[in-house]
Amino acid sequence: MGITLEKLSERLELKFSGYGETILTHVCGLENINQGGLSYITNPNELANLPTPAGIFDSRKRQLSDIEISPQAAIIVPSDLKSKSHNLLFSDDPMLHHCLAAEILHPGTTRSQKISVQANLGDNVKLGKNVTIDGCAVVYDNVSIGDNTVIHAGTVIMNGSTIGNDCLIYPNVTIREESSIGNRVILHPGVVIGADGFGFFQRDGKNLKIPQVGGVVIEDDVEIGANTTIDRARFTQTVIGRGSKLDNLIHIAHNVELGEDSLIAAQSGIAGSTKTGSHLMMGGQSGVRDNLVLGSKVTLLARTLVTSKTNDNEIVAGMPSRPLHVWRKVQALINSLDSLFKRIKRLEDSQKEENKG
């Protein structure tokens, strides 16, 4: 358990200073660094906010050498930073290397330890090399699963779905029939891919179901949070663009096409047939109406509800959504309403005075 500073520096291809035999066991933040810990600093100015050894925050500007940490710990620092008092790894991108180190120090956090196939496999299931399927996972007929993919316990993959290589499918996920999942996709527990879109029409006051015979495409490098649901399209495909990351308890309706590299925070939703550009950012509990087109690099603050077409690079807030500077002005005006009413009262009173006079 653990790896020496020297070995880690070799694996990360970074130079180090300090005691190479230091054994590192875990990644951590600077505020809780302890024996075996590997932390990082992206900016030397961060040091000003470091806790003192006594745990009391100190607002004086300090140097790295001021910090007392365990001699059995290490810090990844910008390449130009100097310090003789600590074990250091030098990087042009300390955050990136800290993440890479985390994968080395915590291999078990993203993999099932147990490689056993007690799965319920249907007919004509195609498995790549080195596939893991845990107990009580159920794979229906005509499913294809790529190399190195891990399917955890309790997950159900229905007929004709395709899963790519190097995917990590956590427990109790449901993938409905004919879904297409790319490579390096992570689905957290309870995710539902490909449930029927919400489509009904009324005849004589009764709701009749509009069949949802389309599918879902989850492109490469997508990650989807716990209990999030992505509905299948009516005729065509609901698409989650490459590299997009969705948090927990999100709803993506039928026929949505989400652009690449988007980030959607928890409990947000996108209604049916809306299409977004790349790099959409949605704050928590936000939403987008149906049948809209959003440009690329659109940002929604938390709890925003977008109800109309939004152009590239717009930042919007509120319900209904307004450009951020407008929303802020509106909030300020609302906060001033009380004084406004008083000013009007004053005007009216003085006018009455005049009329008397």
Of the candidates 98, 254, 279, 325, the residue annotated as catalytic is 254
The answer to whether residue 254 is catalytic is: yes
Rounded to a whole number of angstroms, the minimum distance from the CB of residue 82 to a copy of itself is: 26
Nearer to a copy of itself, 63 or 110 (CB): 110
Over the chain, what HEC string results?
A: CCEEHHHHHHHHCCEEECCCCCEECEECCHHHCCCCEEEECCCHHHHHHCECCCCCECCCCCCHHHCCCCCCCEEEEECCCCCCCCCEEEECCHHHHHHHHHHHHCHHHHCCCCCCCCCEECCCCEECCCCEECCCCEECCCCEECCCCEECCCCEECCCCEECCCCEECCCCEECCCCEECCCCEECCCCEEEECCCCEEEECCEEEECCCCCEEEECCCCEECCCCEEECCCCCEEEECCCCEECCCCEECCCCEECCCCEECCCCEECCCCEECCCCEECCCCEECCCCEECCCCEECCCCEECCCECCCCEEECCCCEEHHHHHHHHHHHHCHHHHHHHHHHHHHHHHHHHHC
Q: How far is the CB of 87 from a copy of itself (least distance, A)?
A: 18
CB nearer to a copy of itself: pick between 165 and 244: 244
Nearer to a copy of itself, 23 or 121 (CB): 121
Q: Minimum distance between the CB of residue 130 and a copy of itself, rounded to whole angstroms? A: 19
CB of 209 to a copy of itself, least distance (A): 7
Nearer to a copy of itself, 64 or 265 (CB): 265
Query: Which residues are part of the catalytic machinery?
Result: 254
